[in-house]
Amino acid sequence: MAVRCEGLSKSYGSTTALDGLDLELPQGEVLGYLGPNGAGKTTTIRLMLGLIRPSAGRAEIFGIDCTRLPVKAHRRLAYVPGESNLWPTLTGAETLHLLGKLSGRIDEAYRDELIARFDFDPIKKVRAYSKGNRQKVLLIGALMSRPELLVLDEPTSGLDPLMEQAFRDCIHEAKQRGQSVFLSSHLLSEVEALCDRVAILRAGHVIETGTLAEIRQLSAVSVEVTFDGAVPDLSGVPGVSALSKHGQVVRFQMTGPVKPLLSSLTGYAVSKLLSREPSLEELFLSFYDGGARDDGSLVD
């Protein structure tokens, strides 16, 4: 198992940032870690990296206790934070060289390939880089070491759409090589494009874990039916909710078996029937009562 958290908790005085977290990331999988600000995502990552001590429970990287043996755990992973804090007087090339020395491993040919793919100029000093270019330094520094586990916390912060696509290509390739990826991101389209499974965090608790297909089964499907002629009353059909009618067009949400709906449509002239599964954004918002965010005064 690349990552295992068991009963992982962290409190700051009377405030609980993380409460009894149980989470697993199998080797070779990409896991999306979702939650609003204050839900506990960054706290989880800091515990995984051994940067803070848990109040209870444990986190393991490839079976290594992250609190007791953080250095040993770090040899198996690379971390990309959402905010860069690099050495301003070094050039990009010097920074990458230093990051390679710190990790103890570097694939120089792959580093040069990444520099080209991310359209990165390694000659400038870090202080002259934009936020996006500083983020490229972190991404290249992590990817060039080809770690067994990539821990990514808002990794594309500041990148333009072309560079976001380059990042996605790199993650797809990392997965094909058998690397594991723990991805915390506010870009739900990014998570949807990259992740095998998602874990949704709320107020320090994982409230749902599974593939997108599994989570979609828990949510309603949007349906639109257009009739030629009479329009039936579907308000009593099991599973139908949020019903609205606009002339010959009826829209609603559908959960559960579709047989009762099909039976109710028998005998009516249906000219068009469209159904759409919810996007990850819609699924995410459904777990937060239409988008309401938890109140969290501490760091995420």
Instruction: Decide: pTM greater than 0.95.
Output: no
Each residue's pLDDT tens digit, 159-212: 999 999 999 999 999 999 999 999 998 888 888 899 999 998 988 888 888 887
* pLDDT (0 to 100) of residue 299: 39
**In this structure, are residues 278 and 254 in contact, taking their beta carbons and an 8 Å threshold?**
no
Q: Residue 200, CB half-sphere, CA atoms under 13 Å: how many?
A: 20
pLDDT exceeds 50 at position 293: no
Each residue's pLDDT tens digit, 33-60: 988 888 899 999 999 999 999 999 999 9
Give the separation between CA 141 and CA 148, rounded to whole angstroms: 14
**In this structure, are residues 45 and 96 in contact, taking their beta carbons and an 8 Å threshold?**
no
Q: Which residues pair with 250 in a beta bridge?
A: 225, 245
| Strand 3-12 relative to strand 249-254, pairing | unpaired
Structure tokens given for 294: 């938890």
How many residues make up the chain in this entry? 300
* Rg from Cα positions in the chain: 23
* pLDDT (0 to 100) of residue 275: 87
Each residue's pLDDT tens digit, 142-172: 999 999 999 999 999 889 999 999 999 999 9
Of all helices (H) and strands (E), which one includes residue 20?
Answer: strand 15-25
Of all helices (H) and strands (E), which one includes residue 71?
Answer: helix 70-74
Residue keyed to tokens 């409460």: 19
* pLDDT (0 to 100) of residue 38: 81
Out of 35-39, 117-121, 249-253, give the one with best mean pLDDT: 117-121
How far, in Å, are 5, 194, 265 from residue 173 at the CA level?
A: 26, 11, 47
What lies within 8 Å, CB to CB, of 237 at 6+ separation is 260, 261, 264
